[in-house]
Chain A
Amino acid sequence: MIEHAARQLVDEPDGVVVTEETDGDFLKLHLRVAEGDVGKVIGRGGRIAKALRALLKVMATRDGSKVNLEID
């Protein structure tokens, strides 16, 4: 979902890389985008990043897991 959304938000979709890191039932997602696109996935005042995390949490709660999104 994150990859799908991020690709549509950025100028360089090919620069979008999402990697997963699991620690028990704790899932950590790393979202990496092209340098010029960082602002696009964060948004003014972090709104987009916050919204992405909110949607991620909806999915995680349903699946009974915990997800963390890092943008780096």
Chain B
Amino acid sequence: MSPLRGEEFTGRTVEEAVERGLRALGRKRGEVDIEVLEKGKPANVLGIGGEDARVLLSFQEDAQPETDEPQTDEAEVPRHPAAERPARDDDETPPAYAEELALAATVLRDLLEKMRIEAEVELAEGADEEGLEVLGQDLGALIGRGGENLVALQQIVSAITSKRVGRSVHVAVDIEGYRHRREQQLRELATRVAGRVRSTGTAVTLEPMLAYERRVVHLALQGQAGVRTESVGIEPNRRVVVSSTAPGARGPYRQGAAGPRPGYGGGYGPRRGFGPRPGGYRPRPDR
């Protein structure tokens, strides 16, 4: 049986998303299964608050050669791996220079003070990039579940710093070595999983991760023989799939030990039926 393949497409309306998808895939309407993931909402008068419609088009992958690359998102592997600095976040902006980093440190200190958080800010030279490190007591809440508040802090600091220096810069922020440890864990996980995929030929789907975490995994396995990685699913349940490049290898139809939720990643794997998804794939914006 030829493998079933699915890809997601977005548009302002369901119709537009479908049209776009059919065009991108070079398929006719009758050749694909259309599943509406999200109907989308029109934006308000200010042009904000609207949501894109998302559809999943699945089809039998037959003799037609695969011309398009696997879908990547902004968090994925840079297009010119050698030229890019590794371990960047989901920002496509260049890292800050030293003097910009000093300014960013001031920005971060001010912000923490306004948040009434007592902590020191130091310039830190990480394993792969320079950044800022917040040091202090009880900073767990500031890191947040899975580091989500840390990412928020970094975004605000980056945005303010960018505004101040007049160009878009990316400021890496760590808190008590959290990110550093997490990245190390992810690299170890990636290597372990890659070993298993190589020996068994079966693809493994990792647990959902933040954009920067997925990037770490992609980068860790980039250029490694015998395996390839791609992200599937919709935020916040987007996951990395590590699959074997060996001929005849099994696709990511079965979950590895990493997560017992088959067909949950979206896009790949057995097509799930209609109806509610376990856990919901995308929370409503908290406005």
Contacts and interface: CB of A to CB of B under 8 A. Distances in A.
* A47, A53, A55 pick with most chain B CB within 10 angstroms: A55
Interface string B91-112: 0000000000000000100110
A48 B18 CA distance: 30
Contacts of A43: 155, 159
Contacts of B155: 43, 47-48, 51
Contacts of B111: 1, 4-5, 55
Contacts, number: 63
Contacts of B148: 54
Nearest to B156: A51
Contacts of B107: 8
Contacts of A48: 155-156, 159
B181 interface: no
| Max count, chain A CB within 10 A of own CB: residue among B111, B116, B141, B152 | B152
A50 B148 CA distance: 11
Contacts of A55: 111, 115, 149, 152-153, 156
Interface in B143-176: 144, 148-149, 151-153, 155-156, 159-160, 163-164
Chain B interface main SS type: helix
Place the interface of chain A in its size category: 20 to 34
A59 B152 contact: no
Interface of A: 1, 4-5, 8-9, 38, 40, 42-43, 46-55, 57-59, 61-62, 70
Given A8-B160, A43-B155, A50-B286, 15 more contacts: A1-B111, A5-B111, A8-B107, A40-B163, A43-B159, A46-B285, A47-B155, A51-B153, A54-B148, A54-B152, A55-B149, A55-B152, A58-B141, A58-B149, A59-B116
19 contacts: A5-B114, A5-B160, A9-B159, A9-B160, A40-B163, A46-B48, A48-B155, A50-B285, A51-B152, A53-B286, A54-B148, A55-B111, A55-B115, A55-B152, A55-B153, A58-B141, A58-B142, A58-B149, A59-B116
